[in-house]
């Protein structure tokens, strides 16, 4: 396994700057996920690591060796694409063996690698089949197996699950997690699906407009987002954002007034907030609860019963719409007047530049 270092990597297409200046260090054995909306530069970045896209500037090192001037085949990486790209006239075994034969690996070693990968990916009974005889999930496992047999220093995955249906996506996600645990290999995975990122990553790299917004463990980026963009992108449903005005407080904690007149004493220290202006409060649905004893009034417009949780879209007195969580077996219905309770210790604050401030 090999670590990957990106030092001041840049990418331009003519006058269009896609990635302005990006640096990141990926440790050997990490499962790193590049997460962000379409067009944020994550796939371009992956393709530059793979050598499929030239850099405009900066350096890329794989295993402490600069690779910016090396072709893809000399970088000691294996890439799995969104589309399976299997040879339709070849069997599963031949698809997995093709790349190894091209570089002169002996037949006995090819058989060893294929049999080992097939056992790992539960493909051993499918080796004689052709792609047309396989399901979508099986084809993707073959594509992954083709990468595994190369025994590369790092694996690169470009949205490999996006063509699968929901059930297959879940199963293949679990298989990828198990594969990483077995191989202990460096893996870099690109997706716009936060569930994939949260369940697979050692660390998530949240990207926006070619820049890194935050790098952290899944629970860190969820609980302590560095910016308003991260807070709004991570989590389902998205975090509620409400304009907030700072008011006087009796202690070090920041007190705010929301648009509907609700006053809260947050867990944010005034020492960290300093002179920040243009405040916005952020609160997740699980910290905004439908509670008969709550002091905030609103009307439930839509109720989503999701089995493990119940969510209500509530219009407040000032017209703001928030998503709140109810008891799983709550009888609240659309059109009901409801009372809400904030868990003020989990209210985040964001300044006008989007910087986040959290409870200590």
Tokens of 314: 């509530």
Same domain, 45 and 185: yes
* Sheet strand arrangement including 4-13: 16-26, 4-13, 57-62
CA distance 133 to 302: 44
CA distance 135 to 140: 9
CA distance 233 to 256: 24
Of 233, 267, 291, the residue that ends a domain is 233
Query: What pLDDT is attached to residue 183?
Result: 83
Of 211, 233, 255, the residue that ends a domain is 233
Tally of structural domains, the chain = 2
CB neighbours of 340 closer than 8 A, spacing ≥ 6? 288, 289, 290, 291, 294, 296, 297, 298, 314, 322, 324
Same domain, 111 and 251: no
What is the rounded average pLDDT of the residues 250-263? Answer: 89
Looking up residue 329, the CATH number of its domain turns out to be: 2.40.50.140
Query: Would you say residue 359 has pLDDT above 90?
Result: no
* Sheet strand arrangement including 211-216: 77-80, 154-158, 186-191, 31-35, 203-208, 211-216
CA distance 240 to 204: 22
Mean pLDDT value across the chain = 91
Same domain, 254 and 213: no
3-state secondary structure of 36: coil
Of 233, 255, 282, the residue that ends a domain is 233
Cβ proximity of 5 and 49 under 8 Å: no
What is the rounded average pLDDT of the residues 43-57? Answer: 94
What pTM did the predictor assign? 0.89
pLDDT digits (tens, 9 = 90+) for 184-196: 889 999 999 999 9
Same domain, 222 and 259: no
Same domain, 222 and 171: yes
What is the rounded average pLDDT of the residues 133-156? Answer: 87
Same domain, 259 and 118: no
Same domain, 26 and 65: yes
Same domain, 148 and 214: yes
Report the 10 Å Cβ neighbour count for 28: 14
What is the rounded average pLDDT of the residues 145-161? Answer: 88
Same domain, 226 and 294: no
Query: What pLDDT is attached to residue 229?
Result: 97
Query: Would you say residue 29 has pLDDT above 90?
Result: yes
Bridge partner residues of 342 (DSSP): 288
Same domain, 214 and 307: no
Query: What pLDDT is attached to residue 112?
Result: 92
Same domain, 149 and 35: yes
- 313: domain range? 240-357
Query: Sign of the CA dihedral 54, 58, 59, 60?
Result: negative
Same domain, 144 and 255: no
CA distance 49 to 283: 37
Looking up residue 140, the CATH number of its domain turns out to be: 3.40.50.300
Helices (H), the chain: 42-50, 92-102, 107-120, 136-148, 166-183, 194-200, 218-223, 228-233, 270-273
pLDDT digits (tens, 9 = 90+) for 239-254: 999 999 998 887 889 9
């Amino acid at each position: 396994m090999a670590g990957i270092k990106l030092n001041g990597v840049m990418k331009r297409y003519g006058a269009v700057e896609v990635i302005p200046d990006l640096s990141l260090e990926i440790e050997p054995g990490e499962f790193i996920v590049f997460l962000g909306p379409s067009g944020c530069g994550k796939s371009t970045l992956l393709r530059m690591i793979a050598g499929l896209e030239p850099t405009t500037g900066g350096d890329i090192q794989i295993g402490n060796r600069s690779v910016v001037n090396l072709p893809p085949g000399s970088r000691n990486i294996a890439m799995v694409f969104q589309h399976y790209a299997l040879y339709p006239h070849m069997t599963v075994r031949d698809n997995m063996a093709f790349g190894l034969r091209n570089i002169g690996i002996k037949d006995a070693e090819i058989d060893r690698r294929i049999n080992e990968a097939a056992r790992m990916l539960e493909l051993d009974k499918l080796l004689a089949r052709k792609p047309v005889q396989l399901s979508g999930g099986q084809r993707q496992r073959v594509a992954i197996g083709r990468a595994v047999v190369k025994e590369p220093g790092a694996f690169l995955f470009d949205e490999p699950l996006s063509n699968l249906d929901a059930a297959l996506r879940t199963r293949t996600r679990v298989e990828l997690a198990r594969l990483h645990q077995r191989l202990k290999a460096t893996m870099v995975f690109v997706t716009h699906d936060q569930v994939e990122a949260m369940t697979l990553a050692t660390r998530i790299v949240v990207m926006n407009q070619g820049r890194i917004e935050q790098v952290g463990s899944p629970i860190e980026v969820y609980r302590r987002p560095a910016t308003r963009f991260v807070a709004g992108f991570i989590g389902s449903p998205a975090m509620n954002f409400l304009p907030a005005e700072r008011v006087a407080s009796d202690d070090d904690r920041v007190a705010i007034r929301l648009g509907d007149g609700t006053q809260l004493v947050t867990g944010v220290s005034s020492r960290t907030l300093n002179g920040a202006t243009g405040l916005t409060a952020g609160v997740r649905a699980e910290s905004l609860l439908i509670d008969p004893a709550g002091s905030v009034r609103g009307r439930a417009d839509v109720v989503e019963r999701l089995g493990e949780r119940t969510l209500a879209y509530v219009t407040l007195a000032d017209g703001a719409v928030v998503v709140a969580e109810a008891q799983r077996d709550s009888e609240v219905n659309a059109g009901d007047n409801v009372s809400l309770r904030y868990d003020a210790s989990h209210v985040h604050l964001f300044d006008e530049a989007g910087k986040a401030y959290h409870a200590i």
